[in-house]
C-alpha cells in the first residue's frame, strides 16, 4: 500500500562494511517507501544485524555508504542513537520494556530519557495514551502493570512507544521509519496476528517499516516488499507479490530461487520401535496455573509434540515436569518410580536422567560471558575430574569433539558463548544436554530465533536422540514444526488436552482445528473461525 | 586456534597490568627512599604483615564469585579475634581450642547470612550490612569496648615469630589459602559450578544445579575464612582490638575487585587478589615511608576500589566492543547500545537485577 510520495523515506545505498579484511556487508542497498513494510530476511550471519547496527550508529569504522533521508544525505557513519533524531525508531528482540512499571510509564520512558521537563501531567498523559491505543485498535489499559500483559501486548506497547518516538522526533514533518529487529521472535503464532494489524495501521499512516525476521510465513504475511541478504550481499529485492514461500526459503539458504530446500522436517510416518533401556514417562493429573488435569505418556524412542495457541498453557507441561516452576499437583511415573510433581526441581529431574532446553536462550540457558567449554561441559565435568583435579586439557579436547559432533561453529572451546549466532548457541545448548545420553528430553521452543540451516540440524539432533531411545517432549508454538517432527501431538487449549493426534493424522490443519475449536472464550472464537476459513 | 594471536597481543598487558604497575611502584619508592624502602626487612614485613587482609579477601571472593556481596566478613574477622582473646586471656582456655570455637562461630554467622539471604530471598547487600553491624555490636559488648591483649604465645609463635626463609609463617598461610581457593575454582567441578551460579543464576538453576545450597555454602565459607583471618590477626598482634579489624572491609573489597582485573581478567581469582593485596599494601607502606599522614590510607584504599571497578568496567566494555565488531551476531549488545540512547535502556533493565560478577560495577539498579 505505497502512498504517493516523493522518493523513499529512507534509502541506504552501496553500504559496505568491513570487519578486519573481510566484508560483512558488500554493496548493500535497501530502501523503504512511504507506507511500505519492508521485510529484511537472511540467515544468522548474513549481515542483517550488521546492517541494523550501522543504522543504529553502532558501527563507526570501515563503513561506506550513502544514507538518504528526506532532506538529508549522509556519507559518514552515524553516532549511536543519532538516527532517532532523523525519525527512525527501533524495537529490538528484548523489547526494552520494564515489567515492574505500568504501561503508561513504559510509554513515557523514552520521553523521560530525552526531555527535560519539570512536571508530568499524568492525567493528560493517560488520555493521550488511551487515544493512541484507540487509534491503532488496541485494547490496553495504561495503568496496568506491564508484567501482567501477554507477551504480544508487551510487544505492542514497545511498538507504540517507538511510534511516539517517531512523532516526537525533530523532523516530525515526515512520517518516519520503524525498525523491528526480530521483535516478533518471542511471540507465538496467534499473538503475531495482533502485531500485524498494528504494523499495517502504522504503515497506513505513511510511516515506513523495516521488518527483520526469521519467520518466512510472517514476512510473506505482513510485508509489501522483501530484501534477502546472504553472505553480506543482497540476493533479492522484490515486491511481496513476486515471491512464494519456496522462493524465499531457497533464496535465504542458497542465494537463488528454485533450489530444493526443506524448511520443515518431513513427516515420518512410522513409529520407531522402542529400544530397550528407559521406561515410558507418564504424567498424570498435572495441574497448576493454567493447566488443568493434564495427562500424557511418552515412550522411549518417541517424540511427542505439545502445542496450542498463546496463553493456553502448553509450555507449562515441560516447565512443570522439569521443576522450572512448581506445579500444584500431579505425578510423574517412570517405570516403577512415581514422583510428585509439586515437589519437582531441576536437580531432581536431572537425577532422573531428564534434560531440559528452555525457550528463553539468553536468560535461561546460556551464560554469554563464559566460554563454550564452561557452558557446554558443565553437566559432564565429573568425567574429567581425576586424581583430585579437573583435567583441563582433556576437558577442552572433549569439548571440541562434542562441538564438532553437534556441528557448532566455530568449534572453539575458549570462545565466549555470547559471540556465537543464535543457531549455534542453540546447537551448543543441545550438545550440552544430549551428550549425557539422557532418557528423557524436554524441549521448549528449541528453534526459536534460529535460522533455517541450524533448524535442520536441530531437528536431526532431536530425532537422533529419539532414535537412541530417548523419550522426547517437544513443546513448540510452531505448528508446522510440531507436525513435522512428532510421532504424536497433544494439543492444549485453556490448560486442557483437547486433542491427541497420531501418525498420519498429524497436520497443521488438524492442530489448528484442535487448538481453536477447543477454545471456549468467545473473544477468540471469531478469530478461530477466521483462521479455519483461511485454512 | 584462531583466537590465539589476538590473545597474545592484547592479553599480556591486561593480564599482568597490575603486576607491572606494582613493579613500577616498587621502583619509584626504592628510588625515592633508597635507604629505607628497598631493604630486606621492609620486604619481609610487607609480605608477611598482610596475611590477615589477604586471607579475608580470599574469603570475600567466595560469595562474590557466586554473585553475592558479603559486607560482614570484616566484622566476623574482628569478632573471631575477640573470641580467641577473651576465651584465651580472660577464661584461660587453650588458645587452639579458642581458635576452633572462633572459627565455628564465624562459619555459623556465614550460614545465618546465607539462610536469610537465600532462604528468604532478601538482598545480601542489606542483610550482610545489617549482620556486620550486629556482629560489631556483639564484639563491643563481649569486650566491654576495650582491647584484650596477652594472647598465648603458641599462637603468636605460629603466626609471626617462627620464620621460614626469613618470612613469618603467616605469609605461607596466605599462600596456602590462595592455592586452595585457586585449586577449588580452577580444578574442581564445584568451583566451576559456582562460576555459573555467579554469572547466570537462572541458567544454573535450570541446568539442575542446587543454586540455593551453593549460595548458602558460599556465605558459610566466607564466614569460616573470615574467622580464620581473625585468628591470624590476633596471632599477628598478640591482642584483639574490638574495632580495628572492621577497617579491613574496604581494602578487602578493593583487593578482590582489583584482583579481578589481573591474572584471569574479568573473573574474581585468588592469585589476582593476592597480587592486588600486595600492590595496595606496597603503596600504603611506601607512602608511610614518605611521611604522609594516615588519612592517605583511606584515600588510597577508597580510590583504589573506585579505580579498580572503573578499570575493569572499561576493559570489559572494550573487550565486548572489540568482540562485537569481529563477530556481529549478538543482538543483546545492540540492545544495550541503542536502548541506552533510544528507548528505556533494556540492557540496564536486566543488568539491574543481576548479581555482581568479575569486573562489573558495584552499583546495582543504576536507573
Mean per-residue pLDDT, B258-278: 89
Read off the pLDDT band of A534 (50, 70, 90).
low
Contact A349 B3 (CB under 8 A): no
* Arithmetic mean of pLDDT over chain A: 84
**pLDDT on residue A261:** 52
pLDDT tens-digit profile of A116-151? 666 777 888 888 889 888 888 888 899 898 888 887
Task: Inform me whether the pLDDT recorded for A289 exceeds 70.
Answer: yes
**pLDDT on residue B344:** 32
On whether the CB atoms of residues A10 and A54 are closer than 8 A, the answer is no
On whether the CB atoms of residues A175 and A206 are closer than 8 A, the answer is yes
Of B326, B330, B344, the CB nearest to A96: B344
**pLDDT on residue A265:** 59
Reduced to 3 states (helix: H, G, I; strand: E, B; else coil), residue A273 is coil
Contact A369 B342 (CB under 8 A): no
On whether the CB atoms of residues B295 and B301 are closer than 8 A, the answer is no
Read off the pLDDT band of B364 (50, 70, 90).
very low
- Residue, of B223 and A1, whose pLDDT is higher: B223
In chain A, what are the domains?
Answer: 10-94+151-254 (3.40.50.300), 281-534 (3.40.50.300)
- Min Cα distance B256 → chain A (Å) is 19
**pLDDT on residue B256:** 93
Share of chain A above pLDDT 70, in %: 87
| Number of inter-chain CB pairs under 8 A, A vs B | 173
**pLDDT on residue A318:** 94
Q: Which residues of A touch B338 (CB under 8 A)?
A: 56-58, 80-81, 90, 92
- The strand pairing partners of A91, in sequence order, are A180
Lowest mean pLDDT: which of A115-119, A200-204, B34-38, B210-214?
A115-119
Mean per-residue pLDDT, B19-44: 86
Task: Inform me whether the pLDDT recorded for B181 exceeds 90.
Answer: yes
**pLDDT on residue B330:** 31
Alpha carbons B12 and B17: distance in angstroms, whole number = 8
pLDDT tens-digit profile of A160-172? 998 888 887 755 5
pLDDT tens-digit profile of B280-335? 988 888 888 888 877 888 888 888 888 877 876 766 666 555 544 443 333 333 33
H-helix segments, A205-290: 216-222, 245-254
**pLDDT on residue A172:** 54
Mean per-residue pLDDT, A196-222: 87
H-helix segments, B115-152: 124-143
- Min Cα distance B117 → chain A (Å) is 20
CA atoms within 13 A on the CB side of B135: 33
**pLDDT on residue A166:** 83
**List of residues 6+ apart from A289 with CB closer than 8 A:** A313, A316, A325, A328, A495
For residue B209, CA distances in Å to A340, A356, A382 come to 20, 13, 14
Confirm or reject contact between B180 and chain A (CB < 8 A). no
CATH domain B15-351 topology: ABC transporter involved in vitamin B12 uptake, BtuC (1.10.3470)
> What does pTM read for this prediction?
0.72
Read off the pLDDT band of B275 (50, 70, 90).
very high
Would you kindly state where each structural domain of chain B is located, as residue ranges?
15-351
- Min Cα distance A416 → chain B (Å) is 9
Reduced to 3 states (helix: H, G, I; strand: E, B; else coil), residue B137 is helix
Mean per-residue pLDDT, B186-200: 90
Task: Inform me whether the pLDDT recorded for B195 exceeds 60.
Answer: yes
- Residue, of A512 and A30, whose pLDDT is higher: A30
**pLDDT on residue B348:** 33
- Residue, of A253 and A327, whose pLDDT is higher: A327
Burial (CB count <10 Å: 0-12, 13-18, 19+), residue A345: middle
Read off the pLDDT band of A520 (50, 70, 90).
very low
Task: Inform me whether the pLDDT recorded for B350 exceeds 50.
Answer: no
Mutation pick from B334, B337, B355 vs chain A, by most beta carbons of A within 10 Å, is B334
On whether the CB atoms of residues A436 and A355 are closer than 8 A, the answer is yes
Contact A96 B345 (CB under 8 A): yes
Amino acid at each position: 500500500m505505497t502512498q504517493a510520495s516523493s522518493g523513499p523515506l529512507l534509502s541506504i545505498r552501496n553500504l559496505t562494511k568491513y570487519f578486519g579484511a573481510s566484508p560483512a556487508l558488500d554493496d548493500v542497498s535497501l530502501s523503504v517507501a512511504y507506507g511500505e513494510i519492508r521485510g529484511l530476511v537472511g540467515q544468522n550471519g548474513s549481515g542483517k544485524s550488521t546492517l541494523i547496527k550501522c543504522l543504529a550508529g553502532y558501527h563507526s569504522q570501515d563503513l561506506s555508504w550513502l544514507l538518504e533521508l528526506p532532506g538529508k544525505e549522509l556519507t559518514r557513519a552515524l553516532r549511536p542513537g543519532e538516527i532517532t533524531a532523523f525519525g527512525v525508531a527501533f524495537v529490538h528482540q528484548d523489547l526494552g520494556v520494564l515489567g515492574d512499571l505500568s504501561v503508561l510509564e513504559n510509554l513515557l520512558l523514552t520521553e523521560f530519557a530525552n526531555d527535560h521537563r519539570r512536571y508530568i501531567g499524568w492525567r493528560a498523559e493517560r488520555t493521550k495514551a488511551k487515544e493512541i491505543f484507540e487509534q491503532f485498535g488496541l485494547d490496553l489499559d495504561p495503568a496496568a502493570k506491564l508484567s501482567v500483559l501477554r507477551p504480544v501486548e508487551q510487544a505492542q506497547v514497545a511498538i507504540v512507544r517507538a511510534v511516539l518516538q517517531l512523532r516526537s522526533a525533530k523532523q516530525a514533518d515526515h512520517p518516519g521509519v520503524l525498525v523491528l529487529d526480530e521483535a516478533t521472535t518471542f511471540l507465538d503464532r496467534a499473538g503475531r496476528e495482533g502485531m500485524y494489524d498494528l504494523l499495517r495501521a502504522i504503515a497506513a499512516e505513511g510511516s515506513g517499516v523495516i521488518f527483520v525476521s526469521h519467520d518466512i510465513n510472517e514476512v510473506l504475511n505482513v510485508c509489501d516488499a522483501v530484501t534477502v541478504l546472504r553472505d553480506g550481499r543482497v540476493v533479492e529485492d522484490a515486491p511481496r507479490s513476486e515471491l512464494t514461500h519456496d522462493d524465499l526459503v531457497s533464496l535465504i539458504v542458497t542465494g537463488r530461487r528454485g533450489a530444493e530446500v526443506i524448511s520443515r522436517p518431513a513427516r515420518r510416518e512410522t513409529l520407531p520401535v522402542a529400544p530397550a533401556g528407559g521406561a515410558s514417562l507418564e504424567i498424570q493429573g498435572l495441574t497448576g496455573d493454567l493447566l488443568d488435569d493434564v495427562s500424557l505418556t511418552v515412550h522411549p524412542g518417541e517424540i511427542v509434540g505439545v502445542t496450542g495457541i498463546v496463553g493456553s498453557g502448553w509450555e507449562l507441561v515441560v516447565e512443570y515436569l522439569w521443576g522450572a516452576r512448581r506445579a500444584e499437583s500431579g505425578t510423574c511415573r517412570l517405570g516403577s518410580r512415581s514422583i510428585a510433581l509439586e515437589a519437582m526441581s531441576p536437580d531432581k529431574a536431572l537425577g532422573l536422567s531428564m534434560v531440559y532446553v528452555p525457550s528463553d536462550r539468553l536468560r535461561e540457558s546460556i551464560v554469554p560471558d563464559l566460554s563454550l567449554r564452561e557452558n557446554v561441559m558443565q553437566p559432564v565435568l565429573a568425567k574429567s575430574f581425576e586424581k583430585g583435579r579437573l583435567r583441563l586439557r582433556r576437558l577442552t579436547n572433549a569439548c571440541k569433539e562434542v562441538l564438532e559432533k553437534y556441528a557448532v561453529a566455530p568449534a572453539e572451546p575458549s570462545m565466549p558463548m555470547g559471540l556465537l549466532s543464535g543457531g549455534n548457541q542453540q546447537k551448543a545448548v543441545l550438545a550440552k544436554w544430549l551428550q549425557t545420553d539422557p532418557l528423557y528430553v524436554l524441549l521448549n521452543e528449541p528453534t526459536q530465533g534460529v535460522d533455517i540451516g541450524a533448524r535442520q540440524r536441530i531437528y536431526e539432533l532431536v530425532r537422533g536422540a529419539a532414535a537412541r531411545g530417548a523419550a522426547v517432549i517437544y513443546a513448540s508454538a510452531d505448528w508446522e514444526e510440531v507436525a513435522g517432527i512428532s510421532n504424536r501431538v497433544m494439543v492444549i487449549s485453556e490448560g486442557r488436552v483437547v486433542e491427541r493426534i497420531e501418525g498420519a493424522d498429524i497436520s497443521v490443519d488438524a492442530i489448528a482445528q484442535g487448538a481453536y475449536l477447543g477454545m471456549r472464550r468467545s473473544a477468540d472464537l471469531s478469530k478461530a473461525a477466521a483462521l479455519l476459513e483461511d485454512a | 586456534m584462531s583466537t590465539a594471536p589476538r590473545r597474545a597481543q592484547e592479553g599480556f598487558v591486561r593480564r599482568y597490568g597490575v603486576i607491572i604497575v606494582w613493579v613500577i611502584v616498587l621502583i619509584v619508592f626504592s628510588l625515592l627512599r633508597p635507604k629505607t624502602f628497598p631493604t630486606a626487612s621492609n620486604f619481609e614485613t610487607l609480605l608477611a604483615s598482610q596475611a590477615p587482609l589477604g586471607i579475608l579477601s580470599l574469603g570475600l571472593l567466595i560469595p562474590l564469585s557466586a554473585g553475592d556481596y558479603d559486607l560482614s566478613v570484616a566484622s566476623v574477622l574482628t569478632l573471631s579475634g575477640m573470641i580467641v582473646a577473651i576465651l584465651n586471656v580472660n577464661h584461660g582456655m587453650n588458645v587452639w581450642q579458642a581458635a576452633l570455637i572462633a572459627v565455628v562461630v564465624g562459619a555459623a554467622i556465614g550460614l545465618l547470612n546465607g539462610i536469610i539471604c537465600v532462604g528468604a530471598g532478601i538482598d545480601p547487600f542489606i542483610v550482610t550490612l545489617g549482620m556486620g553491624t550486629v556482629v560489631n555490636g556483639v564484639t563491643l559488648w563481649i569486650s566491654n569496648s576495650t582491647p584484650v591483649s596477652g594472647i598465648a604465645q603458641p599462637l603468636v609463635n605460629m603466626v609471626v615469630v617462627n620464620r621460614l626463609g626469613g618470612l613469618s609463617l603467616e605469609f605461607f598461610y596466605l599462600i596456602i589459602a590462595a592455592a586452595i581457593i585457586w585449586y577449588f575454582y580452577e580444578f574442581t567441578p564445584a568451583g566451576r559450578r559456582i562460576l555459573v551460579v555467579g554469572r547466570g543464576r537462572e541458567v544454573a538453576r535450570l541446568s539442575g544445579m542446587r543454586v540455593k545450597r551453593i549460595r548458602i555454602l558460599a556465605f558459610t565459607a566466607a564466614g569460616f575464612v573470615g574467622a580464620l583471618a581473625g585468628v591470624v590477626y590476633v596471632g599477628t598482634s598478640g591482642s584483639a582490638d574490638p574495632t580495628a579489624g572492621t577497617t579491613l572491609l574496604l581494602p578487602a573489597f578493593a583487593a578482590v575487585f582489583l584482583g579481578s582485573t589481573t591474572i584471569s581478567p574479568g573473573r574474581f581469582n585468588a592469585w589476582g587478589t593476592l597480587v592486588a593485596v600486595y600492590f595496595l599494601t606496597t603503596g600504603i607502606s611506601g607512602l608511610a615511608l614518605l611521611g604522609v599522614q594516615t588519612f592517605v590510607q583511606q584515600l588510597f584504599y577508597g580510590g583504589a576500589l573506585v579505580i579498580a571497578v572503573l578499570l575493569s568496567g572499561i576493559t570489559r566494555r572494550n573487550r565486548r566492543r572489540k568482540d562485537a565488531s569481529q563477530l556481529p551476531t549478538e543482538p543483546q549488545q545492540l540492545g544495550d547500545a541503542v536502548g541506552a540512547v533510544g528507548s528505556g535502556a533494556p540492557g540496564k533493565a536486566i543488568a539491574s537485577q543481576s548479581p555482581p560478577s568479575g569486573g562489573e560495577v558495584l552499583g546495582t539498579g543504576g536507573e
